[in-house]
Amino acid sequence: QKEVEQNSGPLSVPEGAIASLNCTYSDRGSQSFFWYRQYSGKSPELIMSIYSNGDKEDGRFTAQLNKASQYVSLLIRDSQPSDSATYLCAVLASGGSYIPTFGRGTSLIVHP
């Protein structure tokens, strides 16, 4: 069973702070990693994808990947109340279906 683990939270940060979301995965051969944002009752929306070790930045978002330690993280700089949502980590494992496995998500609350 290929697993993706996330702390369920909630993670509470003040407006303007950096929010750090973490994800670990079990399949060492995993190749592709995704972060989705999901507002309550809505569908997941892709924020970022990352495929190689290191950092990838897109606006206020930075994804970090460390394949040796099998973790991927998402940093949100200058957090805004509109960033309050559940963040889902998804991992595409080696072989198999080419359909990513999702973690259970971390709830983020950004308070003014």
Partner 1 sequence: EAQVTQNPRYLITVTGKKLTVTCSQNMNHEYMSWYRQDPGLGLRQIYYSMNVEVTDKGDVPEGYKVSRKEKRNFPLILESPSPNQTSLYFCASSLSGQGFSYEQYFGPGTRLTVT
Binding segment (CB under 8 A) for partner 1, from list 21-29, 35-43, 60-68, 70-78:
35-43
Contact 95, 87 (CB under 8 A): no
Site for partner 1 in 53-72 (CB under 8 A): none
CA distance 36 to 48: 7
Q: Which residues contact 112 (CB under 8 A, 6 or more apart)?
A: 14, 15, 81
Nearer to partner 1, 32 or 66 (CB): 32
**Residue 12 or 51 having the CB closest to partner 1:** 51
Q: How far apart are the first and last CA of the chain?
A: 40
How many chain residues bind partner 1 (CB under 8 A)?
Answer: 23
Give the footprint of partner 1 on residues 76-105 (CB under 8 A): 88, 90, 92, 97-105
49 makes contact with partner 1 (CB under 8 A): yes
Strand partners, 85: 108
Partners of 71 in the beta sheet? 24, 66
Binding site for partner 1 (CB under 8 A): 8, 32, 34, 41-46, 49, 51, 88, 90, 92, 97-105
